Structure 1
Amino acid sequence: MNFDKIGEMALGSRLRTLSEKVTKDAELIYALYNVELKPKWFPVFYFLSNQEKGKPITSIANEIGHSHPSVIKIVREMSNNGLVLEQKDKMDGRINNILLTKKGIDISTKIEAQYTDVENAVKDTLKQTKHNLWQAIQEFEYLLSEKSLFTRVIEQKKIRESSNIDILNYLPEHHTDFKKLNEEWINSYFKMEDADRKALENPKDYILDRGGEILVAVQGKTVLGVCALLKMQDDDYDYELAKMAVSPKAQGKGIGYLLGKAIIEKAKSLGASNLYLESNTILKPAISLYEKLGFRKVASHYTPYERCNIQMELKLK
């Protein structure tokens, strides 16, 4: 397989091929030194050879980074070959410790010369490379421990899918979608209230003519999300972020984040110093989005909504 032609997305396959190549050589190396080990046993063997006492399966698995079932299988194979045995823990009879047999201990002494030669061979090979593979793997493992490849792919998927989404100012032709999207999410979790009906039935009078704004996320001719900025008559806050709704068909595309960022920029352009919003803690994805946008929980203010049990603010200045 031409990995260079496929590119970086073949990383897993390439590492697997490299692993197979190294494992094949490892089998030859064990035979060269007359050591009765299999490459896949090595992590367990090496760990046990550096323990004064035996260790339970769970400890071994945690230490070498293998799964519990994988270690059980390896220990069983090593036991069948006379290298390890199980022994009840002297302090806790419920625990079975795994330790090397005399045969295993003898191999751990015999293998020292092999360790020296293999380590020097690997180091010599790494010196001949432009990029140190060992250090690169350490870096890559660290990055994946911080954020998995799966999560990173999801992020890239959102970026690609949102690249052709436009954020537009509200027009009268958007009224039907503005009302429909908000009614859908409200009725999915709560019930429509009088304040909802006023804003959704007549956004021009209730929002726009009072100094507010509405933004619309559009893909082609399809409205995928909406968000409003309500002018507040409050000494603490200039505007309220409200009426954010995203089509169920567009969930996971990052549209809420795009709308949130755009509405914040709109507020800044209007000279706002503080933004305010109301929500409910059962809407965990929404709360997470608001926190990502920089909003933080504040003490309760008066609200006309029964469903509101959390209020948040964002300081812009």
Structure 2
Amino acid sequence: MYLETLGKLALGSRLKALSDYFYGAADEVYQTLGARIESRWLPVLRYLWDVGPSSVTEVADAIGQTHSAVSQLTDKLVRAGMVRRRRDPADGRRTVLTLTDKAHASLAELGPIWCAVRRGVTASLDAHATQLLDAIAACERALRERPVAEAILAEHAAIMTTPVEIVPYAPELREHFYRLNAQWLEKYFRIEDIDRAVLGDPEHYILQPGGAIFFARLGEDIIGTCALLQESPGVFELTKMGVDETFRGLGAGKRLLDACIAEFHRRKGRTLFLESNSRLNTALRMYEKAGFVLQPTTRAGSHYERADVYMIYQSRP
């Protein structure tokens, strides 16, 4: 299931899908057994059944839904003849919701169905049902203590003030070298055989011949990478530059490019070149600003089918 791959990022979507599944299952049961309610009515109807006449605000607070959502549901229940609005006898300024005779009759028939629902959920989910309910209760307590929007905004503020750090290659980062480059290659072109070889074994193809690989790290996240490949003594290729698209705008690409150029100078290289594609306008502008000059023709003997841009670095005084 795709949403599983997104982890916490799709938590709301997965919970909604699960909620829709249970609503659908309950409606199927109600319709099959001739019950006169819909699954989404249950929280309001059951609360009024258990507690008695209550305001929309009281119901909303009790069942954890917004005032607007409960008000809209109440409109449906009124049209269905299940609920009516009336003035509170104790406070004429206050409107309360009460169950109609039709609602009382409908709910009174549901005992065997609700019993079957409890047993059926247990039979289907086994111990997971109890674990799920416990987990939901724990989440509800945690969210009351610290709303998730507040926590997310605080983390975002921290991220935006965290500097992008450039770190050298380490074996545990190999998967990110592949991931970050495959991301843009698959989006704009395709992974060629030479890409697959280099990305799958960067130690052999880049580091052992005297090259270097750098990564951009933001806190715990690896958000970009770039490599300096030594083609021959003193001749280096800037290659395999990739930045996670969801982290664009933080300067990671420029930091990686600067790190590779600095490494080129540290090694006293004579020539630094790169191959790219004319579709990658943003990257090409960055290369030009860093001192790479567009050449009139593509590079002879290029390994890449997609390469239609050849640039050579000219060191600035």
TM-score normalised per structure 2: 0.48
TM-score normalised per structure 1: 0.48
